[in-house]
Every structure is written in C-alpha cells, then in structure tokens.
Amino acid sequence: MSDRLHDTPEEWPVTGTERPFQGRVTGVRTDVVTMPDGSRVRRDYQTHPGSVAVVALDERGCVLVLRQYRHPVRQKLWEIPAGLLDVPGEHPLQAAQRELYEEAHVKAADWRVLVDIYSTPGGSDEAIRIFLARDLAAAEGERFAAAEEEAEFEYARVPLDELVRGVLAGELHNSCLAVGVLALRAVLGGDGVEALRPADAPWPARPYEA
C-alpha cells in the first residue's frame, strides 16, 4: 500500500439546491450543505463542463504557446492550447487533439496524461486534464477559421526551462501553462515520460467511455 498522499471522494449532505444563473456553457449553483457538526451553510459555485489542455513539446525541447486576451483579468496571457469539454460524448483525448488542431494547426503522434487538476475547487467544479503531446507535425488541410479573441492569437515555441523561469518569476500566470510546464520539468527530472499515465487513463472527475 502506498504511503503517498491522495485525495479521496467525500460528499456532505445537500438539503437544497438553487441555480440562479445558467449561461451557454457555465452556470452558478447554490447548495445548502449540512456540516459535520449539524449546522447548515450555503455554498455558491460555478458549474463547469470541464476542460482539456495540451503541453505540446517539440523535438528541440520547446513548448508551443499562444497569447490570448482574457477579459476578466484585463491581460493578454501566454497559454498552452486548451478548450472546453463542450461536445457531448467526446473523449478527453479527442477534445485535446481537436484543440491542438484548431488553435495551432498542429497534430501529435505521442500523447500521455501529464496531470489532472481542479482549477479553483473553492469556487468551481471545473476539472482539467492536461496532456503531454510529442512528435509534433503540421496538421493537414486548411487552418481552422478562428473568431473573436482566437482570431488575435500570437504564437511562439519557447524552451521549457524559459517558461519555468517565467512562471517562477511571476511573469506567466495562466494556470494550465504554469501547472503543465512545472509538471513536465518534474517528469523530465524524475521518472521520465514513459512513467506517465496513458492518454486514455481513467479520469474520475469527468468519467468517460473508453
């Protein structure tokens, strides 16, 4: 039996639920939760379908990043390709491959699960699976027709260690980029890519049919 720390499922009783807002993709939910001491509290949080993100690593050790305007924080952030699990029945790996194609017109031959996270578990149920993609090549066919903020993407391929330094210096703030590049640096300095989970590894936070 492993002595490593691990998160465990647990659900405190919910005696009432309201949904004051539902947008096109996300919503707001209010639960009345019974605490262990018997008291009841209201918990407001964002409901979210989940997301996937991709650390795309090329043969030179560079990671594909893009810069996008993010209105809530009023900044243009450098990010890794990412997107919502908003296609019913879509496998997370297929969603990640789609996002890499649509956002960067790139395909990859080798896929692994890099890390699974909850983005902000105190205020949202969003779960994110971050994949590692290697053996990159240009995708076939025409580029995906981007719109709105995506039409203004800027692209770069940046050495992994430069991105790690940017995260630690407080210069790069996107959560998926930060978690992804730090996890990859740990992997490369530890047990290696071959020790990562396969691309179709179970994902209890967002179960799917293999």
Q: Which residues are catalytic?
A: 150
Residue 53, C-beta contacts closer than 8 angstroms, at least 6 positions apart = 80, 81, 82, 96, 99, 128, 129, 130, 131, 176, 180
The token pair that represents 188 in the structure block: 């490369």
Annotate 172-201 with DSSP letters as a single string: ---HHHHHHHHHHHHHHTTT-GGGSEETT-
- Please choose, from the candidates 115, 41, 113, 51, the residue with its C-alpha nearest in 3D space to the C-alpha of residue 83: 51
